[in-house]
């Protein structure tokens, strides 16, 4: 059975089982729910969504297109379950006069199962796939061959909403049960915080966010993202924001997974 089918089976089996355990509570199903249970990880450079970022100290641009729609929600008592399917493509580009060179293209597939307990605590598991590729321009510019870099993984994350700080904290692990080229390093630890959300105008809020990821394939070296931004338009499913991010440490791009970088990014995001 494929991981995708396994995620669906877990969802279909787990929800009725929990409903039976709380049979005195009303239960309901809905399709295309009106909000995400698991929060957007705003400073995570690999999160799903549509974005354009410019490194202020180089010619590098980073573009992303994709999203993560929720498909099904099951509610019983104070438990809520969501199942979704999403995908994203991230490309790094070099801008020259009259030329836009595509260096890398990274592909993500997300099949999350989210479980909310009450109003504050949300867990995420499921299935994910990631593959990183060197584009034709990248091969020509860098004069190197691409490597086979791919991962199939299972996330295990927990997010806790904290109205006291105007945000949330999250953390957990990711098991890369299939991974190349580093076949013996299977773990990624991730944690972060979002805070502030100060109301600037009736339609704008300022926030700050930090995301940290530690990868066993590079001896637990980290990718660190520090972000400040403004949310310009928000709904339970969509959000528009502008942000400045300092990202330092191990490169997000799998083709350069051993390289260290420091980027100063100004970007526009459409969270979907």
Q: Is residue 31 part of a domain?
A: no
Q: Is residue 40 part of a domain?
A: no
pLDDT (average), residues 146-172 = 95
Q: Is residue 26 part of a domain?
A: no
Q: Is residue 167 part of a domain?
A: yes
Supply the pTM of this predicted model.
Answer: 0.87
Q: Which residue has the higher pLDDT, 19 or 70?
A: 70
Residue 229 has pLDDT above 80, yes or no: yes
C-alpha to C-alpha distance for 151 and 3, rounded to whole angstroms: 13
Q: Which residue has the higher pLDDT, 193 or 134?
A: 193
Domain hosting residue 200, numbered range: 3-21+47-271
Q: Is residue 42 part of a domain?
A: no
Q: Is residue 29 part of a domain?
A: no
Six-digit token string for 29 = 């199903």
Residue 16: which pLDDT band, with cuts at 50, 70 and 90?
A: low
pLDDT (average), residues 250-257 = 94
The total number of structural domains in the chain stands at 1
- pLDDT tens for each residue of 47-93: 999 999 999 999 999 999 999 999 999 999 999 999 999 999 999 99
Please check whether residue 92 is in contact with residue 104, taking contact to mean a CB–CB distance below 8 angstroms. Answer: yes
For the domain that residue 125 is a member of, what is the CATH number? Answer: 2.40.160.40
**If we measure between CA atoms, which residue out of 82, 90, 136, 134 comes closest to residue 109?**
90
Give the pLDDT confidence score for residue 96 in this predicted structure.
76
- pLDDT tens for each residue of 108-143: 999 999 999 999 999 999 999 999 998 866 555 666
Q: Is residue 217 part of a domain?
A: yes
Q: Is residue 132 part of a domain?
A: yes
Give the pLDDT confidence score for residue 5 in this predicted structure.
54
Give the pLDDT confidence score for residue 236 in this predicted structure.
80
Residue 218 has pLDDT above 80, yes or no: yes
């Amino acid at each position: 059975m494929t991981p995708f089918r396994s995620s669906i089976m877990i969802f279909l089996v787990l929800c009725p089982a929990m409903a039976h355990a709380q049979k005195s509570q009303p239960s309901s199903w809905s399709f295309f729910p009106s909000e995400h249970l698991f929060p957007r990880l705003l400073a995570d450079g690999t999160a799903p969504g549509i974005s354009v970022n410019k490194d202020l100290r180089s010619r590098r641009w980073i573009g992303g297109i994709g999203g993560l729609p929720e498909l099904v929600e099951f509610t019983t008592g104070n438990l809520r379950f969501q199942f979704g399917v999403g995908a994203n493509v991230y490309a790094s580009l070099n801008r020259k006069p009259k030329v836009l060179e595509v260096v890398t293209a990274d592909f993500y597939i997300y099949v999350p199962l989210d479980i909310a307990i009450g109003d504050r605590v949300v867990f995420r598991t499921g299935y994910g796939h990631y593959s990183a590729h060197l584009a034709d321009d990248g091969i020509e510019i860098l004069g190197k061959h691409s490597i086979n870099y791919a991962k199939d993984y299972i996330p295990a994350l927990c997010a806790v909403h904290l109205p006291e700080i105007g945000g949330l904290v999250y953390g957990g692990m990711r098991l890369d049960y299939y991974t190349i080229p580093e076949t013996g390093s299977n773990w990624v630890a991730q944690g972060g915080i979002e805070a502030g959300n100060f109301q600037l105008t009736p339609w704008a809020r300022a926030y700050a966010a930090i995301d940290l990821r530690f990868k066993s394939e590079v001896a637990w070296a980290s990718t660190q993202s520090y972000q400040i931004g403004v949310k310009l338009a928000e709904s339970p499913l969509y959000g528009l924001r502008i942000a400045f991010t300092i990202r330092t440490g191990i490169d997000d791009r799998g083709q350069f997974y051993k390289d260290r970088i420091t980027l100063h990014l100004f970007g526009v995001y459409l969270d979907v």
